[in-house]
Chains A and B, each alone.
Chain A
């Protein structure tokens, strides 16, 4: 299990918020129930099914283009999944939408980009050197973003723990702006192209007409081990147990002798490290970085976290992959300029049909 929804005592399973809940059931309610159960799934399946039929009946004749979209989508989605983990962990533990998280990811991509240059990885580096160099870059990037995230928590969120909920949200936005400007000063205002170290478009294998490229292998190959290690850490280790306890009830956790402040810092550390890994993958996979990419990445990843069920680790990964596929389909079929409109349209749909997310429990926020 992931981090459960916060405070079960307040997480009412049958929210008495709408007067409709108190009335006897009517057809209206039955339809609503049906929609909330299947509406989101139908909505999610709509895009691939539509384009699948379109391909089969049209000039394409087979599903290879759809398959390619899916593979690219899953690779992109693994980036969103890693960022979404940071959102979901932080939200699970202090109920804060960490708006600065997307920009931590951006700093991660910048760090990876710069560090590969510093240690002299170029297009002619041999495979062994490349793997070792990239591994070193991954470690460094994760350290940088992890400690950056911890620092942000210490400076901007911890002093406001007793303040109204809006206050840390505002400091989060403030830090998001600050980090964007750090990126701007560091690398300038234009988009920077990253050397294509891993030759991300070279085909590794061809699965039923769908090419799997180096980039996909990198994305999946970094994400899966990280997620497995993280899940094991949170479910098995003692510290992970402390994290889950703090997420459930900080006061009770403190009474049990858990150092809540350290646990929260640790959560930010893990979230930041995941964002750093995502930044590395992004830099090598998309081969371009810019100072303002964090904002949209953050929003997309947050959508992913909400879609999976915020506070839920598995949900964040699932949501990330789903959003990745939606995004790729929108990009490839509808047009790049509409991607965020489509993604946010889905976000609103989730909120209407299933605010608790795909596999999340009902939280008190989502009534």
Chain B
């Protein structure tokens, strides 16, 4: 922070305009900060080389990276624009179903292939290239995001939460009962309901001979890492742009923002669209990775899972969100089922801990919030807001100490 005297500056004006991808490290010089970011990236790239290519750890890492993209997307909507979205699972669903629709034998009456391997060419159904599917998923999700955003434009706060939650539930219902819906003729149901759509095509990258498989997880990891880097760069670029500042203005005070000339409708819809597009990107990737699309994965608890990541990490803070996503993924997929699962049995209780994973998860949410309501790595602006009034000056001093 460059401002000299905290008592002179207004309590909510960070002096630096472009923060880029700087780590929340306090007062480190710019170059050190840059080096740290590069080091973190290099570490992330070489990490899978130290583990067995089909190990559970790499599997969890792939999931964690996909969830980072999800969380970054939701952070745009909730953290930047302040629109509490409780139906984020909708974009996971749309993203994953895009894979089911456009890269499987699900619509076996159709015969449409673009840029797929010679083996897949022989299969009936719609089969598009991995990248085309991901872009389609992002596009569809952005559309869906704006559609869901429309009725919330006049609303604020909790009411937005409820409308988005309702949309999430409706989409879940459509996913579960979609086998009854035939929009384009008898053999084209919307979804396969509880049965799930599968198997999905295995993505094949241009420079690789074989398509990806579940045994060789490293390429999956690097694709996911690439998506995270793209998402990070996109989110940072937009945050530091005019649009990002407009989002923050709306979050802080909608009426003031509108009277300063921020176009509310456009700005809010763009937030929904961008958040949804990132959700669709991660959703389609998770669909490919899981090799089936099952309607039961699109429950409300998924929305809460992603929301918890960004809130535990620190709303609006990019590195906090990354940390939150990685931490919660490992807690959910590794710590609870693998490490803690045997504990009740050992102390003589008659249940498996993985039955209770969401209970433990809920417990962690409560503890985390009560102890640190601003999140693990809070955004500076929010931290100041939280302590404003009781001691705004100390809050401004805090990062230095």
Contact = CB atoms under 8 A, between A and B. Distances in A.
Interface of A: 16-19, 91, 95, 97, 155-156, 159-160, 163-171, 173-178, 180-182, 184-185, 189, 295, 299, 302-303, 306, 337-338, 340-341, 344-345, 347-348, 351-352, 355, 364-367
15 contacts: A19-B258, A97-B158, A159-B370, A163-B373, A169-B158, A170-B365, A171-B366, A173-B362, A174-B362, A178-B362, A181-B360, A340-B173, A345-B166, A345-B170, A351-B159
A348 B158 contact: no
Given A171-B370, A180-B358, A184-B359, 16 more contacts: A18-B153, A91-B158, A167-B369, A169-B84, A174-B362, A174-B366, A180-B362, A185-B351, A295-B300, A299-B165, A299-B166, A340-B169, A348-B163, A364-B156, A365-B155, A367-B156
A36 B154 CA distance: 13
Contact of B159 (A164, A170, A171, A365): A365
What is the predominant secondary structure among interface residues of chain A facing chain B?
Answer: helix
B161 interface: yes
Q: Which of B162, B304, B351, B373 has the most CB of A within 10 A?
A: B162
B135 interface: no
Interface stretch (B19-27, B53-61, B126-134, B307-315): B307-315
B177 interface: yes
B41 interface: no
A171 to B, nearest CB: 5
A230 to B, nearest CB: 24
A177 B362 contact: yes
Contacts of B360: 181
Interface residues of B, number: 53
A190 to B, nearest CB: 13
B373 A155 contact: no
B364 interface: yes
Contacts of A18: 153-154, 264
Contact of A166 (B162, B169, B315, B363): B315
B159 A174 contact: no
Contacts of A164: 315, 373-374, 382, 385-386
B169 A299 contact: yes
Nearest to A158: B370
Contacts of A167: 311, 369, 373
Q: Which of A168, A174, A182, A341 has the most CB of B within 10 A?
A: A174
Q: Which of B151, B166, B358, B385 has the most CB of A within 10 A?
A: B166
Contacts of B153: 18
Contact of B166 (A177, A182, A344): A344
Nearest to B371: A159
A177 B359 contact: yes
B356 interface: yes
Q: Which of A169, A170, A185 has the most CB of B within 10 A?
A: A170
B158 to A, nearest CB: 5
Contacts of B254: 17
B365 A166 contact: no
B174 interface: yes
A55 B261 CA distance: 55
